[in-house]
């Protein structure tokens, strides 16, 4: 059983509810579950066309969306932070002392073999156990 479970949430993928169900089953009594969404701000030439207010509004909208999704998930703390998905998940888990990360992963395609997926990066570098879910 685990006392601090981190569930990274991609708001456009279908793993969230399943990951939270698994987290509840693996959670020790008195433990905590954090639903983490990493907001990746626009980079490169795209960012030249967006003002700070547009980026801020987008972040707040994503934050609100996560909070709305978690309002019917008792005992789950929603957290939205800015950063690069893989690196930020690892850093957050280390900083918060997570002892388990539960996350979804799509079936790898050719690009994943060349660059690697977020889940693969987290598995390789996480400071704790990682449970990866796949769609059946």
Q: What is the pLDDT at residue 115?
A: 45
Domain residues for 104?
Answer: 2-133
Q: What percent of the chain has pLDDT over 90?
A: 65
Contact 38, 85 (CB under 8 A): yes
**Where is pLDDT greater, at 94 or 54?**
94
How far is residue 33 CA from its own chain's centroid? Answer: 12
Q: pLDDT tens digits, residue range 3-48? A: 999 999 988 777 788 999 999 999 999 999 999 999 987 766 655 6
The total domain count for the chain is: 1
């Amino acid at each position: 059983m685990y006392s601090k479970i981190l569930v990274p949430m991609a708001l456009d993928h279908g793993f969230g509810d399943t990951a939270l169900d698994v987290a509840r089953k693996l959670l020790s009594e008195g433990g905590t579950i954090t639903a983490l969404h990493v907001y990746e701000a626009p980079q490169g030439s795209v960012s030249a066309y967006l003002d700070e207010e547009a980026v801020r509004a987008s972040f707040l909208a994503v934050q609100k969306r996560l909070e709305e999704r978690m309002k019917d998930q008792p005992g789950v703390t929603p957290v939205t932070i800015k950063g690069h998905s893989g690196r930020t998940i690892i850093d957050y888990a280390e900083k918060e002392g997570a002892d388990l990360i539960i996350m979804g992963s799509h079936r790898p395609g050719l690009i994943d073999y060349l660059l690697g997926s977020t889940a693969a990066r987290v598995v390789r570098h996480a400071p704790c156990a990682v449970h990866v879910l796949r769609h059946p």
